[in-house]
Amino acid sequence: MKSVLLLLIVLLLVTGPAALAQDEPVTLRVLVEGGGISLQLAAAELFEEQTGHTVEFVEVPYPSVFEQLAAEMATGGSAFDVATIDVVWIPAFADFAEPLDALVTDEVAADIFPALLADGLWNGSYVGMPTWANAEVIYYRKDLWEDPDEQAAFMAEYGYELAPPTTWQEFTDMAVFFTRDSDGDGAIDLYGTDVKGAPPGADVEWMVHVLQAGSPGVVLGADGSIIVDNDAHLAGLEFYVSHHCDLGITPANPLEIGWAEGENLFFQGVTAMTRFWGHAYRLQQFDLSGGLVGAPYIGPEAVANVGVAPMIAGEAGIGSIPGPWFNIVPKSSENKEAAMAFVQFMYDQNVLGVQEPLGLSARISAFEQFAGEENYESLTALIATLNGPQTIGRPLVPNWQQVNDEVVVPMVQDALGCEVSPADALAWARGELEAMGFE
Protein backbone atom coordinates (compact mmCIF):
# COMPACT_ATOMS: atom_id res chain seq x y z
CA MET A 1 0.00 0.00 0.00
CA LYS A 2 2.82 2.34 0.95
CA SER A 3 4.68 1.68 -2.28
CA VAL A 4 1.54 2.34 -4.35
CA LEU A 5 1.01 5.63 -2.56
CA LEU A 6 4.66 6.51 -3.07
CA LEU A 7 4.37 5.67 -6.76
CA LEU A 8 1.30 7.88 -7.08
CA ILE A 9 3.09 10.76 -5.37
CA VAL A 10 6.13 10.36 -7.64
CA LEU A 11 3.88 10.25 -10.72
CA LEU A 12 2.08 13.39 -9.62
CA LEU A 13 5.36 15.19 -9.03
CA VAL A 14 6.82 14.06 -12.35
CA THR A 15 3.85 15.01 -14.45
CA GLY A 16 2.91 17.96 -12.30
CA PRO A 17 -0.43 19.68 -12.32
CA ALA A 18 -0.71 19.22 -16.08
CA ALA A 19 -1.76 15.67 -15.39
CA LEU A 20 -4.83 17.02 -13.67
CA ALA A 21 -5.88 19.03 -16.71
CA GLN A 22 -8.47 17.53 -18.99
CA ASP A 23 -7.25 16.82 -22.52
CA GLU A 24 -9.21 18.26 -25.46
CA PRO A 25 -9.18 16.78 -28.96
CA VAL A 26 -7.58 19.86 -30.53
CA THR A 27 -6.01 22.40 -28.26
CA LEU A 28 -4.34 25.45 -29.71
CA ARG A 29 -1.70 26.96 -27.48
CA VAL A 30 -1.35 30.68 -28.08
CA LEU A 31 1.63 32.54 -26.63
CA VAL A 32 0.67 36.10 -25.72
CA GLU A 33 1.89 38.94 -23.55
CA GLY A 34 -0.19 39.68 -20.47
CA GLY A 35 -1.03 43.26 -21.40
CA GLY A 36 -2.65 42.46 -24.73
CA ILE A 37 -4.34 39.18 -24.01
CA SER A 38 -7.71 40.86 -23.43
CA LEU A 39 -7.84 41.97 -27.06
CA GLN A 40 -8.13 38.38 -28.25
CA LEU A 41 -10.15 36.73 -25.48
CA ALA A 42 -13.63 37.45 -26.80
CA ALA A 43 -12.78 36.38 -30.33
CA ALA A 44 -11.09 33.24 -29.03
CA GLU A 45 -14.24 32.27 -27.15
CA LEU A 46 -16.24 32.65 -30.36
CA PHE A 47 -13.64 30.59 -32.19
CA GLU A 48 -14.05 27.79 -29.67
CA GLU A 49 -17.82 27.89 -30.00
CA GLN A 50 -17.78 27.84 -33.77
CA THR A 51 -14.97 25.36 -34.43
CA GLY A 52 -14.95 23.06 -31.41
CA HIS A 53 -11.25 23.67 -30.90
CA THR A 54 -9.92 24.74 -27.55
CA VAL A 55 -7.73 27.80 -27.22
CA GLU A 56 -5.24 27.87 -24.38
CA PHE A 57 -3.59 31.23 -23.92
CA VAL A 58 -0.12 31.10 -22.46
CA GLU A 59 0.10 34.51 -20.82
CA VAL A 60 3.62 35.63 -20.01
CA PRO A 61 5.47 38.86 -19.19
CA TYR A 62 6.68 40.94 -22.14
CA PRO A 63 10.31 39.71 -22.32
CA SER A 64 9.19 36.13 -21.91
CA VAL A 65 7.35 36.14 -25.24
CA PHE A 66 10.69 36.52 -26.95
CA GLU A 67 12.54 34.17 -24.59
CA GLN A 68 10.00 31.37 -24.88
CA LEU A 69 9.72 31.60 -28.63
CA ALA A 70 13.50 31.84 -29.05
CA ALA A 71 13.90 28.73 -26.90
CA GLU A 72 11.30 26.93 -29.01
CA MET A 73 13.07 27.99 -32.20
CA ALA A 74 16.48 26.95 -30.89
CA THR A 75 15.27 23.52 -29.82
CA GLY A 76 12.80 22.87 -32.63
CA GLY A 77 9.97 22.74 -30.16
CA SER A 78 6.28 22.84 -30.91
CA ALA A 79 4.86 24.13 -27.67
CA PHE A 80 2.91 26.93 -29.37
CA ASP A 81 0.57 26.85 -32.34
CA VAL A 82 0.23 30.61 -32.54
CA ALA A 83 2.31 33.39 -31.02
CA THR A 84 1.28 37.01 -30.73
CA ILE A 85 4.49 38.96 -31.05
CA ASP A 86 5.65 42.57 -31.00
CA VAL A 87 6.61 44.02 -34.36
CA VAL A 88 10.25 44.37 -33.30
CA TRP A 89 10.58 40.59 -33.12
CA ILE A 90 9.30 39.89 -36.64
CA PRO A 91 12.80 39.70 -38.19
CA ALA A 92 14.04 37.40 -35.44
CA PHE A 93 11.22 34.90 -35.94
CA ALA A 94 10.45 35.37 -39.64
CA ASP A 95 12.22 32.17 -40.67
CA PHE A 96 10.45 30.28 -37.89
CA ALA A 97 7.01 31.43 -39.04
CA GLU A 98 4.70 29.99 -41.66
CA PRO A 99 3.98 32.34 -44.58
CA LEU A 100 0.49 33.78 -44.28
CA ASP A 101 0.19 35.08 -47.84
CA ALA A 102 -2.95 33.05 -48.44
CA LEU A 103 -4.69 34.94 -45.63
CA VAL A 104 -3.62 38.41 -46.77
CA THR A 105 -5.95 38.87 -49.73
CA ASP A 106 -6.38 42.21 -51.49
CA GLU A 107 -9.54 42.79 -49.46
CA VAL A 108 -7.68 42.11 -46.22
CA ALA A 109 -4.75 44.30 -47.24
CA ALA A 110 -7.08 47.18 -48.05
CA ASP A 111 -8.44 47.14 -44.50
CA ILE A 112 -5.08 47.24 -42.72
CA PHE A 113 -3.02 50.38 -42.14
CA PRO A 114 -0.20 50.46 -44.73
CA ALA A 115 2.60 50.71 -42.17
CA LEU A 116 1.33 47.60 -40.40
CA LEU A 117 1.17 45.63 -43.59
CA ALA A 118 4.76 46.59 -44.38
CA ASP A 119 5.90 45.54 -40.93
CA GLY A 120 4.54 42.00 -41.40
CA LEU A 121 6.33 41.49 -44.69
CA TRP A 122 9.61 39.56 -44.72
CA ASN A 123 11.46 38.59 -47.90
CA GLY A 124 8.31 39.08 -49.95
CA SER A 125 6.06 36.98 -47.72
CA TYR A 126 3.64 37.97 -45.01
CA VAL A 127 4.82 36.14 -41.91
CA GLY A 128 2.58 37.95 -39.45
CA MET A 129 -1.06 38.98 -39.45
CA PRO A 130 -1.58 42.30 -37.64
CA THR A 131 -3.70 41.72 -34.55
CA TRP A 132 -3.82 45.18 -33.08
CA ALA A 133 -2.11 48.48 -33.68
CA ASN A 134 -1.25 51.50 -31.65
CA ALA A 135 0.58 54.76 -32.17
CA GLU A 136 1.61 57.75 -30.13
CA VAL A 137 -0.82 60.65 -30.27
CA ILE A 138 -1.04 63.98 -28.47
CA TYR A 139 -2.87 64.11 -25.14
CA TYR A 140 -3.80 67.56 -23.87
CA ARG A 141 -5.86 68.98 -21.03
CA LYS A 142 -9.19 70.14 -22.38
CA ASP A 143 -9.88 72.16 -19.24
CA LEU A 144 -6.90 74.36 -20.13
CA TRP A 145 -7.36 74.47 -23.88
CA GLU A 146 -11.08 75.30 -23.61
CA ASP A 147 -10.70 77.93 -20.92
CA PRO A 148 -11.66 81.34 -22.45
CA ASP A 149 -9.11 83.18 -20.30
CA GLU A 150 -6.33 80.87 -21.46
CA GLN A 151 -7.48 81.22 -25.05
CA ALA A 152 -7.42 84.99 -24.85
CA ALA A 153 -4.03 85.10 -23.18
CA PHE A 154 -2.58 82.73 -25.73
CA MET A 155 -4.00 84.73 -28.63
CA ALA A 156 -2.54 87.89 -27.17
CA GLU A 157 0.89 86.35 -26.78
CA TYR A 158 1.22 84.25 -29.94
CA GLY A 159 -1.25 85.75 -32.35
CA TYR A 160 -3.16 82.61 -33.22
CA GLU A 161 -5.90 80.56 -31.58
CA LEU A 162 -5.29 78.08 -28.82
CA ALA A 163 -6.24 74.72 -30.32
CA PRO A 164 -4.68 71.27 -30.13
CA PRO A 165 -1.20 71.57 -31.68
CA THR A 166 -0.66 70.31 -35.19
CA THR A 167 2.93 71.37 -35.85
CA TRP A 168 6.25 71.43 -34.04
CA GLN A 169 6.04 75.19 -33.63
CA GLU A 170 2.52 75.09 -32.17
CA PHE A 171 3.49 72.27 -29.85
CA THR A 172 6.47 74.25 -28.58
CA ASP A 173 4.50 77.50 -28.25
CA MET A 174 1.77 75.82 -26.22
CA ALA A 175 4.24 73.93 -24.05
CA VAL A 176 6.04 77.19 -23.27
CA PHE A 177 2.73 78.95 -22.61
CA PHE A 178 1.47 76.40 -20.10
CA THR A 179 4.73 75.97 -18.20
CA ARG A 180 4.03 78.00 -15.09
CA ASP A 181 4.14 78.44 -11.36
CA SER A 182 0.40 78.31 -10.75
CA ASP A 183 0.45 78.83 -6.98
CA GLY A 184 3.18 81.45 -6.91
CA ASP A 185 5.50 79.57 -4.58
CA GLY A 186 8.47 80.06 -6.86
CA ALA A 187 8.45 76.51 -8.21
CA ILE A 188 7.01 75.37 -11.52
CA ASP A 189 4.03 73.12 -10.88
CA LEU A 190 2.68 72.77 -14.41
CA TYR A 191 4.97 71.81 -17.28
CA GLY A 192 3.98 72.23 -20.89
CA THR A 193 5.03 68.72 -21.79
CA ASP A 194 7.59 66.04 -20.99
CA VAL A 195 10.48 64.36 -22.74
CA LYS A 196 11.16 60.73 -22.10
CA GLY A 197 14.77 59.84 -21.49
CA ALA A 198 14.21 56.45 -19.87
CA PRO A 199 13.43 53.33 -21.84
CA PRO A 200 10.91 52.37 -22.93
CA GLY A 201 9.98 55.67 -24.47
CA ALA A 202 13.27 57.48 -25.01
CA ASP A 203 13.77 55.73 -28.30
CA VAL A 204 10.42 55.95 -30.05
CA GLU A 205 9.58 59.53 -29.11
CA TRP A 206 12.70 60.91 -30.71
CA MET A 207 12.30 58.70 -33.77
CA VAL A 208 8.74 59.93 -34.26
CA HIS A 209 10.09 63.45 -34.83
CA VAL A 210 12.77 62.11 -37.15
CA LEU A 211 10.04 60.76 -39.40
CA GLN A 212 8.05 63.98 -39.19
CA ALA A 213 11.15 65.83 -40.37
CA GLY A 214 11.10 63.76 -43.55
CA SER A 215 13.48 60.85 -43.01
CA PRO A 216 12.59 57.78 -45.10
CA GLY A 217 13.16 55.62 -42.04
CA VAL A 218 14.77 55.67 -38.63
CA VAL A 219 18.39 54.90 -37.82
CA LEU A 220 18.78 52.46 -40.71
CA GLY A 221 17.49 52.76 -44.24
CA ALA A 222 15.41 50.16 -46.03
CA ASP A 223 18.64 48.62 -47.37
CA GLY A 224 20.18 48.47 -43.91
CA SER A 225 22.50 51.44 -44.50
CA ILE A 226 23.18 53.89 -41.69
CA ILE A 227 21.05 57.04 -41.91
CA VAL A 228 21.19 57.96 -38.25
CA ASP A 229 23.00 61.22 -38.94
CA ASN A 230 20.95 62.53 -41.85
CA ASP A 231 19.38 66.00 -41.63
CA ALA A 232 16.00 64.72 -40.45
CA HIS A 233 17.57 62.77 -37.57
CA LEU A 234 19.43 65.88 -36.50
CA ALA A 235 16.35 68.09 -36.78
CA GLY A 236 14.26 65.58 -34.82
CA LEU A 237 16.84 65.33 -32.06
CA GLU A 238 17.34 69.08 -31.83
CA PHE A 239 13.59 69.58 -31.54
CA TYR A 240 13.22 66.84 -28.94
CA VAL A 241 16.03 67.87 -26.59
CA SER A 242 15.40 71.60 -26.94
CA HIS A 243 12.27 71.34 -24.80
CA HIS A 244 14.41 70.18 -21.90
CA CYS A 245 17.84 71.68 -22.51
CA ASP A 246 16.95 75.09 -23.97
CA LEU A 247 13.38 75.89 -22.96
CA GLY A 248 12.98 74.10 -19.61
CA ILE A 249 9.35 73.28 -20.31
CA THR A 250 9.56 69.68 -19.14
CA PRO A 251 10.07 68.08 -15.71
CA ALA A 252 13.71 68.36 -14.78
CA ASN A 253 14.56 64.67 -14.65
CA PRO A 254 13.97 63.29 -18.16
CA LEU A 255 16.27 60.31 -17.66
CA GLU A 256 13.86 59.03 -15.02
CA ILE A 257 10.82 59.47 -17.23
CA GLY A 258 9.72 56.73 -19.58
CA TRP A 259 6.28 56.03 -20.97
CA ALA A 260 4.73 54.89 -17.70
CA GLU A 261 6.02 57.93 -15.83
CA GLY A 262 5.06 60.32 -18.63
CA GLU A 263 1.55 58.93 -18.68
CA ASN A 264 1.23 59.30 -14.92
CA LEU A 265 2.61 62.84 -14.92
CA PHE A 266 -0.02 63.86 -17.44
CA PHE A 267 -2.98 62.15 -15.80
CA GLN A 268 -1.93 63.58 -12.45
CA GLY A 269 -1.96 67.08 -13.88
CA VAL A 270 1.78 67.75 -13.78
CA THR A 271 2.04 68.24 -17.56
CA ALA A 272 -0.36 70.00 -19.90
CA MET A 273 0.45 67.83 -22.91
CA THR A 274 2.13 64.53 -23.52
CA ARG A 275 2.96 62.23 -26.37
CA PHE A 276 1.58 58.83 -25.52
CA TRP A 277 0.05 55.74 -27.04
CA GLY A 278 -3.53 55.93 -28.23
CA HIS A 279 -4.91 53.20 -25.96
CA ALA A 280 -4.56 55.23 -22.76
CA TYR A 281 -7.62 57.41 -23.31
CA ARG A 282 -10.04 54.51 -23.19
CA LEU A 283 -8.01 52.48 -20.72
CA GLN A 284 -8.12 55.27 -18.16
CA GLN A 285 -11.88 54.92 -17.99
CA PHE A 286 -11.70 51.49 -16.40
CA ASP A 287 -10.82 50.94 -12.79
CA LEU A 288 -9.02 47.93 -11.40
CA SER A 289 -12.26 46.23 -10.47
CA GLY A 290 -12.98 46.07 -14.20
CA GLY A 291 -10.61 43.16 -14.19
CA LEU A 292 -8.04 44.77 -16.40
CA VAL A 293 -4.49 44.04 -15.38
CA GLY A 294 -2.52 47.09 -14.51
CA ALA A 295 -4.77 49.98 -15.45
CA PRO A 296 -3.50 53.03 -13.55
CA TYR A 297 -6.92 54.17 -12.45
CA ILE A 298 -7.48 57.86 -12.64
CA GLY A 299 -11.15 57.64 -13.43
CA PRO A 300 -13.78 58.96 -15.79
CA GLU A 301 -13.90 62.33 -14.06
CA ALA A 302 -10.30 63.10 -14.94
CA VAL A 303 -10.69 61.64 -18.42
CA ALA A 304 -13.45 64.15 -19.13
CA ASN A 305 -10.75 66.81 -19.10
CA VAL A 306 -8.52 64.91 -21.49
CA GLY A 307 -8.39 65.65 -25.19
CA VAL A 308 -6.62 63.60 -27.82
CA ALA A 309 -5.25 64.97 -31.08
CA PRO A 310 -3.32 63.35 -33.91
CA MET A 311 0.43 63.28 -33.57
CA ILE A 312 1.97 66.59 -34.62
CA ALA A 313 3.42 67.08 -38.06
CA GLY A 314 6.87 68.18 -39.10
CA GLU A 315 7.89 69.42 -42.53
CA ALA A 316 6.95 66.06 -44.05
CA GLY A 317 3.59 65.76 -42.32
CA ILE A 318 2.17 63.63 -39.54
CA GLY A 319 4.46 60.81 -38.61
CA SER A 320 4.58 58.18 -35.92
CA ILE A 321 5.95 54.76 -35.25
CA PRO A 322 3.22 52.15 -35.08
CA GLY A 323 3.28 49.60 -32.29
CA PRO A 324 1.51 46.64 -33.82
CA TRP A 325 1.43 43.07 -32.63
CA PHE A 326 1.21 40.18 -35.05
CA ASN A 327 -0.09 36.65 -34.92
CA ILE A 328 2.41 34.21 -36.34
CA VAL A 329 2.13 30.46 -36.81
CA PRO A 330 5.39 28.70 -35.90
CA LYS A 331 6.52 26.22 -38.54
CA SER A 332 6.88 23.66 -35.77
CA SER A 333 3.18 23.79 -34.82
CA GLU A 334 1.53 20.39 -34.89
CA ASN A 335 -1.89 21.98 -35.47
CA LYS A 336 -1.08 24.26 -38.39
CA GLU A 337 -4.46 24.02 -40.07
CA ALA A 338 -6.32 24.98 -36.94
CA ALA A 339 -3.70 27.62 -36.16
CA MET A 340 -4.18 29.22 -39.58
CA ALA A 341 -7.94 29.15 -39.04
CA PHE A 342 -7.42 30.86 -35.68
CA VAL A 343 -5.31 33.64 -37.23
CA GLN A 344 -7.93 34.16 -39.92
CA PHE A 345 -10.68 34.21 -37.30
CA MET A 346 -8.83 36.75 -35.19
CA TYR A 347 -8.67 39.00 -38.24
CA ASP A 348 -12.33 38.47 -39.09
CA GLN A 349 -13.43 39.24 -35.51
CA ASN A 350 -10.85 41.96 -34.99
CA VAL A 351 -13.55 44.47 -34.12
CA LEU A 352 -14.10 42.72 -30.77
CA GLY A 353 -10.76 44.04 -29.60
CA VAL A 354 -11.96 47.62 -29.93
CA GLN A 355 -14.69 46.91 -27.39
CA GLU A 356 -12.16 45.81 -24.78
CA PRO A 357 -10.70 48.36 -22.35
CA LEU A 358 -7.52 48.63 -24.44
CA GLY A 359 -9.76 49.43 -27.41
CA LEU A 360 -7.32 48.46 -30.17
CA SER A 361 -7.59 46.75 -33.50
CA ALA A 362 -5.55 46.27 -36.64
CA ARG A 363 -8.39 46.87 -39.09
CA ILE A 364 -9.25 50.31 -40.33
CA SER A 365 -12.94 49.40 -40.54
CA ALA A 366 -12.98 48.27 -36.91
CA PHE A 367 -11.53 51.58 -35.72
CA GLU A 368 -13.86 53.56 -37.97
CA GLN A 369 -16.91 51.73 -36.66
CA PHE A 370 -16.36 53.18 -33.19
CA ALA A 371 -14.53 56.43 -33.91
CA GLY A 372 -16.36 59.40 -32.40
CA GLU A 373 -18.59 57.35 -30.14
CA GLU A 374 -18.65 58.01 -26.43
CA ASN A 375 -15.51 56.68 -24.72
CA TYR A 376 -13.89 56.23 -28.13
CA GLU A 377 -13.13 59.89 -28.85
CA SER A 378 -9.41 59.11 -29.19
CA LEU A 379 -9.87 56.79 -32.16
CA THR A 380 -10.19 59.62 -34.69
CA ALA A 381 -6.76 60.89 -33.67
CA LEU A 382 -5.34 57.38 -33.73
CA ILE A 383 -6.67 56.70 -37.22
CA ALA A 384 -5.25 59.99 -38.52
CA THR A 385 -1.89 59.18 -36.98
CA LEU A 386 -1.73 55.61 -38.24
CA ASN A 387 -2.62 56.90 -41.71
CA GLY A 388 -0.03 59.68 -41.50
CA PRO A 389 2.25 60.01 -44.53
CA GLN A 390 5.30 59.63 -42.35
CA THR A 391 4.02 56.82 -40.15
CA ILE A 392 6.66 54.20 -40.76
CA GLY A 393 7.73 51.14 -38.81
CA ARG A 394 11.09 50.53 -37.22
CA PRO A 395 13.85 48.92 -39.33
CA LEU A 396 13.26 45.24 -39.91
CA VAL A 397 16.68 43.96 -38.88
CA PRO A 398 17.09 40.91 -36.65
CA ASN A 399 19.21 42.72 -34.07
CA TRP A 400 17.05 45.83 -33.84
CA GLN A 401 16.61 45.35 -30.11
CA GLN A 402 20.38 45.48 -29.68
CA VAL A 403 20.62 48.58 -31.88
CA ASN A 404 17.87 50.19 -29.88
CA ASP A 405 19.27 49.34 -26.45
CA GLU A 406 22.95 49.91 -27.14
CA VAL A 407 22.86 52.81 -29.58
CA VAL A 408 19.54 54.65 -29.77
CA VAL A 409 18.69 54.90 -26.08
CA PRO A 410 22.20 55.87 -24.88
CA MET A 411 22.45 58.42 -27.68
CA VAL A 412 19.16 60.09 -26.77
CA GLN A 413 20.14 60.06 -23.10
CA ASP A 414 23.50 61.65 -23.91
CA ALA A 415 21.77 64.39 -25.83
CA LEU A 416 19.28 64.94 -23.00
CA GLY A 417 22.23 65.44 -20.67
CA CYS A 418 22.57 68.77 -22.52
CA GLU A 419 26.37 68.63 -22.55
CA VAL A 420 26.72 66.77 -25.84
CA SER A 421 25.36 68.47 -28.94
CA PRO A 422 22.77 66.54 -30.97
CA ALA A 423 25.18 66.41 -33.91
CA ASP A 424 27.92 64.88 -31.77
CA ALA A 425 25.48 62.40 -30.23
CA LEU A 426 24.41 61.27 -33.70
CA ALA A 427 28.04 61.00 -34.84
CA TRP A 428 28.68 58.72 -31.87
CA ALA A 429 25.65 56.63 -32.86
CA ARG A 430 27.04 56.23 -36.38
CA GLY A 431 30.34 55.00 -34.95
CA GLU A 432 28.56 52.44 -32.79
CA LEU A 433 26.47 51.21 -35.69
CA GLU A 434 29.59 50.84 -37.84
CA ALA A 435 31.18 48.84 -35.04
CA MET A 436 28.15 46.54 -35.17
CA GLY A 437 28.79 45.93 -38.86
CA PHE A 438 26.32 48.33 -40.46
CA GLU A 439 27.59 50.55 -43.30
Partner 1 sequence: MNPGRLLVLALVAFVMLLYISPYGYMMLTSFKPAEDALAIPPHILPRQFSLDSYSRFAKDAEVPRSFLNSFIVAMMSTTLAVSLALPAAWAISRYGSWPGRFFLLVALVTRMIPYIAIAIPFFALMRSFRLTDTWLAVALAHVTISLPLAIWLLAGFLEAIPSELEDAARVDGCSRAAALLRVIVPVAAGGIVVTAIFCFLASWNEFLYALLLTSVEAKTAPIVIAQFKSQYSLDWGSMTAVGTLYSLPVIIFSLFMQRRIVAGMTMGAVKG
Q: Using CB under 8 A as the criterion, which residues of the chain lie in contact with partner 1 when the complex forms? A: 13-18, 21, 29, 31, 33-36, 56, 58-64, 67-68, 71, 74-75, 77, 79, 86, 251, 260-261, 264-265, 268, 270, 277, 279, 283, 287-289, 291, 293-298, 358
- Residue 40 or 215: the one with the smaller Cβ distance to partner 1 is 40
Closest distance of CB 35 from partner 1, Å? 3
Closest distance of CB 293 from partner 1, Å? 6
> Which residues are registered as beta bridge partners of 97?
330
Question: What is the torsional sign of CA 68, 71, 73, 78?
Answer: negative
Closest distance of CB 86 from partner 1, Å? 7
Q: Are 305 and 273 in contact, with CB atoms under 8 Å apart?
A: no
User: Mapping DSSP to helix (H, G, I), strand (E, B) and coil, where does residue 55 land?
Assistant: strand
Report residue 212 CA to chain centroid gap: 18
CA-closest candidate to residue 145, choices 159, 172, 165, 166? 165
Closest distance of CB 268 from partner 1, Å? 6
Closest distance of CB 417 from partner 1, Å? 21
- Residue 66 or 178: the one with the smaller Cβ distance to partner 1 is 66
Burial class for 249, CB neighbours closer than 10 Å (0-12, 13-18, 19+):
buried
Q: How far is CA 11 from CA 5, 19, 20, 23, 60, in A?
A: 10, 9, 11, 18, 27
Range list of H helices, 57-119? 62-75, 90-93, 106-110, 114-119
CA-CA-CA-CA dihedral for 137, 382, 34, 90, to nearest 10 = -90
Q: What is the DSSP letter of 209?
A: H
Closest distance of CB 37 from partner 1, Å? 9
- Residue 62 or 160: the one with the smaller Cβ distance to partner 1 is 62
